[in-house]
């Protein structure tokens, strides 16, 4: 039941116009670029006010997140106006790891990102793609220190650290960039709002991906251009937008690990509940479980339909979760064989070293169950049966 008093109070705090003005003041700029965002921002903030009982810390973090994203858009557009060659950067051929969350995507992302022959989605760069005005060449980038206040580092949260350690100078999924559109699946992983999720699923994702492509061109330009280095991407919401993803990165090499959804869904619910606790004053695990199940069921149906319609079986390297765990170098070598790139001995060695030194459970055991989120095995069978019959049960 909607708590009208809380909704109204939180709505006053989450005032899009005030946050926009604050961001413009911080940046000293007014041009956010060619992509309209206010409709999405107002929808997102309204759903936060309506559906998440924010703690005092959560309210402060959320408002800071919004201002940070807006400031980055402002600074990026200023730099693109000054350097229009940024939009000539070629980001068309990344390695992209797709699949259900908690299916081995993070391990593959970090392994593929280990060598210096690729471009890395480092956490501090994903949080702040635009350089800070006080950056001094040759000194530590101030964006690195700024991440300490993000609220997302997992060192002090054993459950989250066991599931998905987040560190300042490690690669992290680039869903953080897609948040800049305010109309993206990534937000719904934090916010249990059927209204918001259904709205973004009904909207076009084209502008969000166009904005993200612009960000990666911007980051690549900052780092001296492509220089033969492909990006390595991994963001689980790509699963719902495979057609749009292909439009913007048409020469991508796709790798998809497959793991039983009986494990993936409660594991992801456990991790994202940890994220929600950073922001929420109270939290309903069963509601979260039901919404996690529903969103990934919808995403899976959309993914399978697009995969069939676009006949993408030959474009996607399908791999079993156990291979990710025990012999991931086989996956790496097959992926490189499908890509425009050669796997150098040095890159091979660095990826193998990452695998060797990062065994499962290194940061603690991630424990979860369907029952703690009010789910049953039948719920999984009912929602993922077709996927499992094609990709899981055959193994």
In this prediction, residues 122-139 reach a mean pLDDT of 91
- Tens of pLDDT, residues 284-338: 999 999 999 999 999 999 999 999 999 999 999 999 999 999 999 999 999 999 9
In this prediction, residues 71-94 reach a mean pLDDT of 98
Q: What does pLDDT average to over the chain?
A: 91
Whole-prediction pTM: 0.92
As a three-state string, the secondary structure of the chain is CCCHHHHHHHHHHCCHHHHHHHHHHHHCCCCCCCCCCHHHHHHHHHHHHHHCCECHHHHHHHHHHHHHHHHHHHHHHHHHHHCHHHHHCCCCCCEEECCCCCCCHHHHHHHHCCCCCCECCEHHHHHCCCCCCCCCCCCCCHHHHHHHHCCCCCCCCHHHHHHCCCCCCCECCCHHHHHHHCCCHHHHCCCCCHHHHHHHHHCCCHHHHHHHHHHHHHHHHHCCCCCCCCEEEECHHHHHHHHHHHHHCCCCEEEEEECCHHHHHHHHHHHHHHHHHHHECCCCHHHHHHHHHHHHHHHHHHHHHHHHHCCCCCCEEEEEHHHHHHCHHHHHHHHHHHCCCCCCHHHHHHHHHHHHHCCCCCCCCCCCCCHHHCCCHHHHHHHHHHHHHHHCCCC
Report the range of poorest mean pLDDT among 11-25, 155-169, 371-385. Answer: 155-169
**pLDDT reading at 164 higher than 50:** no
CATH superfamily of 90-391: P-loop containing nucleotide triphosphate hydrolases (3.40.50.300)
Report the range of poorest mean pLDDT among 76-85, 162-171, 374-383. Answer: 162-171
More confident residue, 51 or 366: 51
190: pLDDT confidence band, cut at 50, 70 and 90?
Answer: confident
Domain ranges across the chain: 90-391
């Amino acid at each position: 039941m909607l708590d009208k008093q809380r909704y109204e109070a939180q709505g006053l705090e989450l005032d899009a116009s005030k946050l926009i003005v604050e961001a413009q003041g911080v940046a000293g700029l007014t041009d956010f670029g060619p992509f309209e965002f206010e409709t999405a921002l107002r929808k997102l903030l309204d759903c936060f006010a309506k559906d998440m009982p924010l703690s005092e810390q959560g309210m402060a973090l959320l408002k800071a997140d919004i201002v940070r994203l807006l400031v980055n858009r402002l600074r990026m557009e200023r730099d693109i106006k000054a350097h229009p060659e940024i939009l000539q950067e070629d980001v068309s051929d990344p390695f992209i790891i797709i699949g259900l969350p908690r299916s081995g995507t993070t391990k593959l992302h970090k392994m593929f990102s280990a060598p210096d022959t690729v471009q890395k989605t480092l956490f501090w760069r994903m949080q702040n793609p635009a350089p800070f005005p006080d950056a001094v060449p040759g000194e530590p980038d101030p964006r690195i220190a700024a991440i300490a206040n993000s609220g997302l580092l997992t060192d002090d949260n054993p459950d989250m650290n066991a599931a998905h350690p987040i560190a300042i100078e490690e690669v992290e999924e680039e869903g953080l960039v897609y948040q800049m559109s305010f109309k993206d699946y990534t937000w719904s992983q934090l916010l249990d709002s059927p209204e918001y999720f259904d709205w973004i699923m009904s909207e076009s994702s084209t502008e969000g991906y166009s904005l993200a492509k612009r960000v990666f061109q911007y980051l690549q330009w900052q780092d001296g251009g492509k220089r033969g280095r492909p990006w390595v991407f991994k963001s689980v919401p790509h699963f719902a937008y495979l057609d749009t993803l292909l439009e913007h990165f048409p020469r991508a090499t796709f790798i998809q690990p497959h793991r039983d959804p009986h494990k993936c869904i409660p594991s992801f619910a456990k991790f994202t509940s940890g994220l929600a606790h950073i922001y929420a004053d109270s939290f309903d695990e069963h509601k979260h479980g039901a919404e996690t199940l529903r969103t990934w069921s919808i995403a899976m149906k959309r993914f399978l339909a697009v995969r069939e319609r676009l006949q993408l079986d030959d474009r996607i390297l399908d791999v079993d979760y156990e291979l990710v765990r025990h012999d991931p170098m086989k996956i790496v070598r097959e992926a490189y064989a499908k890509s425009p790139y050669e796997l150098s001995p040095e890159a091979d060695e660095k990826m193998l070293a990452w695998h060797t030194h990062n065994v499962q459970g290194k940061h603690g055991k991630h424990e979860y169950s369907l029952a703690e989120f009010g789910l049953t095995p039948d719920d999984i069978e009912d929602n993922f049966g077709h996927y499992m019959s094609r990709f899981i049960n055959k193994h």
